[in-house]
Amino acid sequence: MVSINGRNFTIPGVMFLDLSLTENQLQEGARAILKRIRPKWKYDAIKFKIFTVGITNKLIGCYQQHDCDMNDCILIRIYGKKTEMFVDRELELLAIYVLNMAKCSASLYAKFNNGIAYGFLPGRCVNAETTRDPEIGRLIAEEMVKFSFIDPSKYGKGLSEDSLVVLDRLNNRKPVTFKYINRFLDIFPESFPDPKRNERFHIIIPSVYELKEEVQQLALKLNDLGSPTVFSHNDLLLNNIVYDEKKECCYFIDYEYAGFNYQAFDIGNHFCEWAGVEELDYDRYPDKPTQLRWLRHYLKAYKKRRGDPNVMPTDDELEALYVQVNQFSLASHLMWGVWAIVQARYSTIDFDFLEYSKLRLDQYYKTKEEFLSLTMPE
């Protein structure tokens, strides 16, 4: 039984632990959780690995000393400070459960007061070089298609009444792109406590009023593109994609923003992430031939899953998706540009969120005219 905000969630196989972990006592807190979910582990043989690539949450891997390949590694994630302001943690729990049932994620083992414990997917995260590999690109496209056809309503068996209410929210087919952007805008900070950061914030970041106007105008444009609504990851940065060389497949991890969304957003957002995070370089954004090759894999897999008699995409289908994807990449820049400002105000992660926001918003304005001038095939 998992309890959040006074509501009871029965999620098969998931424990609720009334524990709170702190960043400066990660290992001690992790041991307390492991006593419950891995009671047979030898206490003095537990090894820990701190993962430092995340820019939202703290993450620690736990495994037994003899388990060199980390086959039974448990990941323990502590939610980032104030992330409950913009991440629906109830929805995230159900998303992980549904994705695990659909064989798209590792198992969720426990929910504690300020985080979760879940399984480890073997492999390595893709990077700016490997994501350009045509074969890995095909695997990513096919996994994205697999996500697209997930139906959360199929996985209600064994859930409590309160869990089913949240499952219904996850199953809402209304696209979440502008819902998320507006949620971030609603908590957009007016200022920063530190005078130097506050001055920098007001110099390099557009006003919330300007950003709201951009969002409103972009929404009017993109809502008319006719992009299908599909189940989406919505945050496919490179560190959220794991390549398993042995099994020749890719997995997606971290599902804080998973839900139904425009098909073109998930793809356009992923293409934006080819630029990286720590060192953004938009020269890495895929050119048209590279995109068309990737989109051909996607459409072929998508049409096959849909049961189309002819799975080979036409030139018009490719061009239409190309236009949609690049125009939705603008929404990606706005979404994460605004998100980064909220993170800059509240996060304790050692990362320059202000600079990241500036670069994302700069790229929005730089590519806006070019991408919005693209036209759909007749």
Successive 10-residue mean pLDDT values, the chain, 378 residues: 61 90 86 94 88 70 78 88 88 95 95 93 93 97 98 93 93 96 96 95 96 98 96 96 95 96 98 92 97 98 95 97 99 98 90 95 98 95
Kindly state whether residue 155 falls inside one of the protein's structural domains. Answer: yes
The 3-state secondary structure of the chain reads CEEECCEEECCCCCEEECCCCCHHHHHHHHHHHHHHHCCCCCHHHEEEEEECCCCCCEEEEEEECCCCCCCCCEEEEECCCCHHHCCCHHHHHHHHHHHHHCCCCCCEEEEECCEEEEECCCCEECCCCHHHCHHHHHHHHHHHHHHHCCCHHHHCCCCCHHHHHHHHHHCCCCCCHHHHHHHHHHCCCCCCCCHHHHHHHHHHCCCHHHHHHHHHHHHHHHCCCCCCEEEECCCCCHHHEEEECCCCEEEECCCCCCEEEEHHHHHHHHHHHCCCCCCCCHHHCCCHHHHHHHHHHHHHHHHHHHCCCCCCCCHHHHHHHHHHHHHHHHHHHHHHHHHHHHHHHHCCCCCCHHHHHHHHHHHHHHHHHHHHCCCCCC
Could you tell me if 294 and 324 lie in one domain?
yes
Could you tell me if 71 and 7 lie in one domain?
yes
Question: Domain with 321 in it: what CATH number?
Answer: 3.90.1200.10
Kindly state whether residue 61 falls inside one of the protein's structural domains. Answer: yes
Could you tell me if 162 and 43 lie in one domain?
no
Instruction: Provide the pLDDT for residue 214.
Output: 98
Could you tell me if 165 and 19 lie in one domain?
no
Could you tell me if 101 and 150 lie in one domain?
no
Could you tell me if 251 and 162 lie in one domain?
yes
Kindly state whether residue 377 falls inside one of the protein's structural domains. Answer: no
Question: Domain with 73 in it: what CATH number?
Answer: 3.30.200.20
Could you tell me if 106 and 173 lie in one domain?
no
Kindly state whether residue 46 falls inside one of the protein's structural domains. Answer: yes
> Domain boundary residue among 85, 119, 153?
119
Instruction: Provide the pLDDT for residue 241.
Output: 97
> Domain boundary residue among 119, 138, 171?
119
Could you tell me if 16 and 108 lie in one domain?
yes
Could you tell me if 30 and 51 lie in one domain?
yes
Domain count for the chain, please give it: 2
> Domain boundary residue among 119, 138, 166?
119
Could you tell me if 115 and 137 lie in one domain?
no
- What's the whole-model pTM score? 0.94
Could you tell me if 278 and 228 lie in one domain?
yes
Instruction: Provide the pLDDT for residue 374.
Output: 98
Instruction: Provide the pLDDT for residue 24.
Output: 79
Could you tell me if 80 and 164 lie in one domain?
no
Kindly state whether residue 281 falls inside one of the protein's structural domains. Answer: yes
Kindly state whether residue 378 falls inside one of the protein's structural domains. Answer: no
Question: Using one digit for the tens of pLDDT, what is the confidence trace for 228-249?
Answer: 999 999 999 999 999 999 999 9
Instruction: Provide the pLDDT for residue 65.
Output: 80
Kindly state whether residue 60 falls inside one of the protein's structural domains. Answer: yes
Instruction: Provide the pLDDT for residue 59.
Output: 87
Q: Which domain holds residue 42?
A: 2-119
